[in-house]
Structure 1
């Protein structure tokens, strides 16, 4: 069957990086006989109506796709397509969980998967800091240095390394009403982590990211990538993590803990794949299309 799919990117950040990701998926689809149309989310109209809800695109006002591949976090659009019977990769729920780091850690903890010691900050309605008693309890549990991480953010930009109480209270105030968490700092993983690309039940490739100038290993912060050999322990941990958030595929970031233990740092349901391809020679797009074709045929 010749499936037709939409590749959805965000219209407000349709940069070369996102367009390149979309093109990689489109080229992989062509090789496997699948037709795709790349659309910005603002190319799509979502009409909610008691008699008949409609999602239509500027490309074709009448026909819904067989599937949608989201390089975006527009949960509402993804959910509406699902309600109209379109198979969405990744699902709206998986995107929602992955986009929210607090939600992600809660799901990982639910399945008893290894994560750094984490405390969810209480919801605030004003920008002022938390009470001195609460802050002292955070220090008692985690010590210094510690990590303050906002629930929403990308490329490590909303992750803060905190060395003392002055930095802690200042950072909390700057975050204002946005949700965030406190986390123990994993010294063993300073400036380094592992990114594992999972598709279905298999980890298909991995890289080690190293950054000698920053505690964060992200390539966007100056980190470098090296191919990393996946063993059974890493594959089982990464695949289980992706299943815990209900994703079809994702990039799982693992920290190096003490006693050779790996800890799950984050799960990215919209992980870019160009750097992985250039570092390892593995084109994740080919594997993603093969996985989607198998899922659609069931």
Structure 2
């Protein structure tokens, strides 16, 4: 019997860029003999009735879900109902929050830029004296990152103390962190796509006039053959957060050694295909088939 799966995507973020990739996933799933249905998250409402949580939408549950969104309440409810998610809710939660990612990778020997978590603020920043400790520890320039952000957005290059204090006040009660700036990786990084326990595709991203290498921020893509060390690092990080599929971003240290930047649980696959010709949806669906039998 054909296995039934859902592709869950965000119903309020269904641009051409997203819709093309959802249809792409459906085509690949069909080739692997899956019966796939694409469903926006806002058509699967989680509710509590008679003291029990359930889906308000009455639908027969699938054998698995390709969860291509960050709606954690929905993801957790599906898992509670016994549905296997690719990726699991916890992996999505960790990768979506840069502070949680850093904490999950800490104490495992993972090379990362020195990072300081901003203390939680209610309403507005009244006392910024702690910033002197940040300055003493990281110096200038430094990087500020909002904990929630994609495509290289919500990442700021801070050159001096006045800019730092201004930006910290602007961010107010948003969760964010301070990070060491790696001049050696200015405008370049590598994206490694991990499926299960292997790297299936990778690319180098370079920007001429931006410290960020993201394609959305103006970076260009080049095919890249990662070293065994880079591959092992990417797979280790992916497994540490409990993910099935990830896009792991790696920076270059002073000696060109790999330094982890971040992990993406919902990494897009069109850019890597355009760059390398590798269709990673084939690897992802093959992995799902292997996992669910």
Give the TM-score band, short-chain normalised: over 0.9
Paired residue for 1:219, among 204, 209, 215? 215
| 1:109 maps onto 2:115 in alignment | no
Q: Deviations over 1:22-72 (max 9, x none)?
A: 112111101111111001101113233347643264xxx330011111111
- Structure-1 residue corresponding to 2:115: 118
- Structure 1 gaps of 5+ residues are none
Report the alpha carbon displacement of residue 129 of structure 1 after superposing the two structures with TM.
Answer: 5.8
Q: Deviations over 1:202-238 (max 9, x none)?
A: 0001000000021100100111000000221111000
Question: 285-294 vs 46-55, which deviates more?
Answer: 46-55
TM-score, with normalisation over the residues of structure 1? 0.95
- Structure-1 residue corresponding to 2:4: 4
- Structure-2 residue corresponding to 1:295: 291
CA contact under 8 A between 1:147 and 1:183: conserved in structure 2? yes
CA contact under 8 A between 1:196 and 1:206: conserved in structure 2? yes
- Structure-1 residue corresponding to 2:21: 21
- Structure 2 gaps of 5+ residues are none
Cα 1:129/1:277, change in 2 over 3 Å: farther
Q: Aligned-residue CA RMSD in angstroms?
A: 1.3
Helix, strand or coil for the counterpart of 2:24? helix
Distance 1:269 1:137 in 2: 33
- Structure-2 residue corresponding to 1:48: 48
- Aligned pair count reads 293
Distance 2:74 2:34 in 1: 22
- Structure-2 residue corresponding to 1:283: 279
Distance 2:9 2:126 in 1: 36
Distance 1:64 1:48 in 2: 18
CA contact under 8 A between 1:217 and 1:223: conserved in structure 2? yes
